Each structure stands twice: as structure tokens, then as C-alpha cells.
Amino acid sequence: MPVARTNRLVHQTSPYLLQHATNPVDWYPWGPEAFEAARTRQVPILVSVGYSACHWCHVMAHESFEDDEVAQLLNANFVAVKVDREERPDVDAVYMEAVQLVTGSGGWPTTVLALHDGRPFWAGTYLPRPQLLALLARVREVWEQRRADVERDAASLTDAVRRGAALPGHELDVARSPTASACPGAPGEGALGAVASALLANHDPEWGGRAGAPKFPQPANLEVLARHWYRTGEEAAARAWRLTLDAISSGGTYDHLGGGFARYSTDRRWLVPHFEKMLYDNALLLRSYTHAWQLTGAPRYRQVVEETVGYLLAPPMRLPERAWASAEDADSEGTEGRFYTWDHAEVVEVAGADLAAWYGVTPEGNWEGRNILWRPGRGDLERPADLERARAALFERRSRRVRPGLDDKVLTEWNAMAVAALCAAGTAFDRSDWTSEAVATAEALCKLTRRSDGRWLRSWRAGQQGPPAFCGDYAWLTDAFTRLYEATGHARWAEEAVWAAKDLERLFWDPDGGGFFTCGRDAPPLVARLKDAYDGAAPAANSVAASALGRLGHLTGDRHMTDVALRLVERLWPAMQRTPSGFPAMALAADELTVGGAEVVVAGEDTALVRPVFERYLPGAVLAWGEPFASPLWEGRTGPDSAGRAFVCHGYRCELPVTSPAEVARLLDAR
């Protein structure tokens, strides 16, 4: 029996790299060994960046990287390097910048050709096998005959990538003190209104979200519309927000059997998803639907929250370590969407004709001859009892299928997102079991992804720790720990938040150009040190940092934290004015920093007094209760005379203390 061939990736822990460990391509993982091999052999590097749940990454692997002819050409003339973009967002960001400069757009897999020092000279995305073979042959020829041209291209493209390293609007003079305003005029409510106006101008009035296709949920956009409505009462924002929420949760992008969301919709109706399910999408949307319930009380939003939490807390996404896996694949049994789609006859056989009609299942199908379950016309989600029994039967049938592949690495950033979201849902719906699961994950992260010297790490899998954590990891940890304190009243989490925030600034803040670098100052250098500023499917690291530092500074009374956050917002304000749709999460941070919200102190552990805070949508508000910690909010409120009293404050000026939930609610509603 022949022995399976393997390459260097067989020793990696990343599921994406391990998917390529038996390729005939002689892959290297990202690192000095690959660059030294290219320098010694005097050949260029091919860098291929992707992730384990990426459908087109699988396609390119099957077409090209499992092909002996491609492998022979690559192995003889290049050093091939495989990168997991989720494990190394710093590398991904550099080469994605190159791809966007060359092609005008981006996507994965990313295919980049570079010199032995990592400087790119050609960049693209997915390439069919014939095109890849032609490209490799052409580059080999040019490399041998006109290498000076290649080096010129590398210098030019790398210079352009480095110019993109600065924050937008870098022409401003920002080399001032850490607390100085970077431009005249703080953004105030104008940032929120500007983004809301931009979203409404490009809104799909029939199906919600951004006009056209594909459609990404972009929870920060949803939050902007919700908060703008909350702040101003503008009904157009409310209508667009609810239409989008309802269309997403009615469509095939939502898993009506198992809960949770696919990554995006390939069409404008939210019907046909790209079937991969990512932890970050589900964490961010969980918070969006929690806020929707707080603002409207609509049962459909409660149902979406409960089903999404159910998905996240069940295997395979919930790991034995009580942390979360990163993603489930789009493919199973070699076919995209096979796990999630249905023949009409099977649905009728298992669940009956009524359920088939409820979920729009037809003999001809709605996608490639099969059926994606959805609620046509944005129908009700709440199921009558007989349909619920039928749905459970269909779910049980699906559970017998081969499940999509699981990327079971634990990413610190995405787990922290989910901790923050589960805190929001657990407190809003009075589900202490959910809050306890958030605490368990935070404890797991402290054990799995933090070194003994306190340095946080990006990932963990199968007992192996990953590279040093990036800005996004620290920013989301700061947010998650802050919200854990507010959810539990345990001072330990406020202290963890303060330590994470201090290291966020120490490791990533740029004292000259402003903002936070993606990589820490202790990281090995790349060809460019970038800053994540534009919000996309997930908020940019700088947006999360501004919001997290502002919130923690508000809670602790630490003016330095809020000053750093304000400087960052002000630094980006000119860019936000030019392209507001690129900065929805930063606009939310600006709103919290400049408009703010109440400070609520509940002396002691009377959970009845904190319920009015948990139940309400209160952007910018902070809550101190349970165990005191270092904050002006606790001054004079820790003795026995304060026990059982609640203080509702604005700008640290407090109303007279109250002792009943109804009185707390009255003060909160008098905004």
C-alpha cells in the first residue's frame, strides 16, 4: 500500500495548513526558513493565503495544488508558502493591500509572488489551473531573463503598500502629544448621522442591506441605523434597520434548522448563502438581534437570539475546552451546501407538506435543483407546535449527514467577540446560564491563549499556542472583559480589562502617526506595518480599540484611556467625512465618546436593581455593581449604608439614590 506523501505543513496545527499537508507542492509555512530557502536558491516566493472554510480556496487546491504538473513547476522554480489568514492577519493584510492595488478588489485565496525578502511584485486571487500554469511559466522566464524588471516592480508595489500603512488622512500633522486633538472639531453626533445617511442612500428598499449583490450582513451598519433611530427618532433609519434584520433572518443565510448564520448571501434576497459559518459573524449578529429585541420586544428577534446561542453552545462549535471553534466549512462530501440543502421529496417524507410550504420547498428547487430553507416574503419565524415538531424531525434527519469540516482552532479575537455578545444576550434575556458560559470561555482563554509572562497569543489548537496576539485580539479582549464585569459584578474582570487595555496601548499605539498598528512592537517585521482602519464584515481593530478604551475609561474614570480613544476618533474624522460608509464602527465609537450615556452604580449584589439596565438598549451607558474596584463611581458607595441602593449618574453627577427597580427604570427612561 503506497505511503501518503507529506510536506512541511504536516507539522503545523492550523487546520487550513493541514488541508495542504499532503499536496505534492513542497509547501513551507510562513517563517524565516522559507525566506532563507528562496534567498539561497535565488528563486521567487509564491505566497498563497486562505482559510479552512473558504470554498474557492478548496477549488484552487483541488485544481492546482493537488496537481503534479503545477507542483513540479512550483517546486523547481519557486518557494511556495502557505498562510492561514485567520492565524496571521498581519501577513494577510499586507498582501491583501497588494492585491487591491493591483486588481482593484480583493478576496481569497490570495495569490502573491514576492522576492526572497517578502516584497510583492505580482498579486491576485483565485486562478484556474491553466492561468496559474501560464503565470508561473511566464514569471520563470522573466525571472531568468529580466530580473531587474521584477525587482523594479517589487520596489514600486511595496512602496505603494507602505503608503497604505498610514491611517486615512495621514497628510494631517498628527505628531503631537498623545492627548492632542488631531484636527479641529470633534465629530460628535455628526459621525453617526453621516454614516446613517450614506447607508440609507445605498439601501435596498425591497430586501434591505446594501443595494445589489452579494450582500454581507455588516452588523456595524445595523447598529448605526438602530442607534441613529434611538438618538434622533428618524423613521427611515428604523424601517431600513428592521427590513434588513427581517430579510436576513428569513432568508437562507440564516440556518432555520440549527440556528446561526452563514457568512453572506450571493444574491440580493438573502436566499442563497455562501454556506460557511464563521464564529465572528454569529457573535456580531447575536448582539445585533439582542439589541433589536431590546428596542422592539419582537418575538422573532428573541427566537433568532435563542437559536443562535443554541448553535454556538452546541458541538461542534463549542469545544470541550469551553472555547469556540473558528468556523464550519461551506462544503461537505465534496459539494458546496450539501449539508444544508434538500430535495422536495425528502422534506415531505420526513416533515410533511405543511413544513415544505412553510420553508418555500418546491419540487424544482430554488438553488441548483435543490432547496435552501427560507421564509419567503419575510414571513413569521415563530412556528406553530405541529410545525415545530416537523422541524425537529427534519433537523434530526440532517444530523445524520456528513457534517461540513470544522476549523477547530481557538482564535482569541473571535472568542472575545463571542464572549461580549453572550454577555449582552445573557443579561438582556436574564439567562444566567449564558452568562456563565461567557465566563467559562474567558477563563479558557486565560489558560489557553496567554503566556506565563502575560503576553496574549493569537490562537490555540490541540495543545499548541499560536503567534503573539494582534491589535484586534487585545481590543476585543478589552471589550469582552469590560462587559464581563458589567454582566457579573466580579471585579476580577474589570482588572483584566485594564491590563489588556494597557498592553494594547504599549504594544500597538503609534505615538507619531496616531492609531494602532496591527502588529505589536515585539513582532518580527514585515515589509509594511499596517493599521486596520476601514470597517468591513467585522469592525476594524482601530474602531474596536476606540470603543473599548472609551467604554473602559468611562467605567473606571481613567481619562487617559478616553483621551487616547478620542484622539483616534478625531484623527480619522476627516476620512470619515469623505467616505462615511467606510467607518460605521468608528462612528459608533465617536457617538459613545462624545454623546456618551449614563453611569449606573448598584451597591451590593441586588440583581433586581440591575435588571432595568440589562433589559434596556442603553448605548454608551456603563454599569458598576457587585464587587467594587478602582473607579470614582465607587467613591463613598462601598459601605453598609449604601447597600441595596442604586445611583444613576450623568457625567459622574448622580441623582439621589433609589432602592427599587421601578425607580431605576424611571431614571433611565428620563433621557
d(CA 581, CA 584): 6
Q: Which of 358-362, 439-443, 540-544, 594-598 has the lowest mean pLDDT?
A: 594-598
Q: 301 or 180: whose pLDDT is higher?
A: 301
* Secondary structure (DSSP) of 326-351: SEE-SEETTEETTTT-B-HHHHHHHH
CA torsion 332-333-338-342 (nearest 10°) is -140
Query: By C-alpha distance, which of 459, 500, 450, 507 is closest to 478?
Result: 500
d(CA 199, CA 46): 39
d(CA 561, CA 504): 11
Q: What is the mean pLDDT of residues 623-642?
A: 92
* 148, burial (CB in 10 Å: exposed 0-12, middle 13-18, buried 19+): exposed
The pLDDT of residue 180 is 36
The pLDDT of residue 172 is 43
d(CA 670, CA 655): 12
Q: Which residues pair with 535 in a beta bridge?
A: none
What pLDDT, in 10s, does the model give residues 119-161? 999 999 999 999 999 999 999 999 999 999 999 999 999 999 9
Q: Which amino acid is at 100?
A: Q
User: Cβ of 294: how many Cβ atoms within 10 Å?
Assistant: 19
Instruction: Compute CA distances 601 → 427, 666, 671, whole Å.
Output: 16, 15, 17
The pLDDT of residue 553 is 97
Query: For 232, left (φ over 0), alpha (ψ -120 to 50), or beta?
Result: alpha
Q: Which residues pair with 626 in a beta bridge?
A: 603, 604
What pLDDT, in 10s, does the model give residues 329-369? 998 888 999 999 999 999 999 999 999 999 999 999 999 99
Confidence of residue 170 (pLDDT cuts 50, 70, 90): low
Q: Which of 100-114, 475-489, 492-506 has the lowest mean pLDDT?
A: 100-114
Q: What is the mean pLDDT of residues 604-620?
A: 94
SS3 of 218-283? CHHHHHHHHHHHHHHCCHHHHHHHHHHHHHHHHCCCECCCCCCECCEECCCCCCCEECCEEHHHHH
Mean pLDDT of the chain: 94
The pLDDT of residue 423 is 98
Confidence of residue 4 (pLDDT cuts 50, 70, 90): low
Q: What is the mean pLDDT of residues 231-253?
A: 97
Contact 120, 114 (CB under 8 A): yes
Confidence of residue 261 (pLDDT cuts 50, 70, 90): very high
Q: Which three cell numbers stand for residue 283?
A: 457573535
SS3 of 558-618? CHHHHHHHHHHHHHHHHHHHHCHHHCHHHHHHHHHHHCCCCEEEEEECCHHHHHHHHHCCC
Query: By C-alpha distance, which of 90, 118, 97, 102 is closest to 28?
Result: 118
Element containing residue 198 per DSSP (H, E): helix 190-201
What pLDDT, in 10s, does the model give residues 375-396? 998 888 999 999 999 999 999 9
Contact 194, 576 (CB under 8 A): yes
Is the Cα torsion angle 60, 326, 283, 339 positive or negative in sign? Answer: positive
The pLDDT of residue 641 is 82
| Helices 235-250, 190-201: crossing angle, 10 deg rounding | 60
Residue 57 has pLDDT above 80, yes or no: yes
Contact 9, 29 (CB under 8 A): yes
d(CA 603, CA 624): 8
Q: Which of 180-189, 261-270, 559-568, 657-666 has the lowest mean pLDDT?
A: 180-189
Question: Could you tell me whether strands 646-650 and 622-626 are parallel, antiparallel, or unpaired per DSSP bridges?
Answer: unpaired
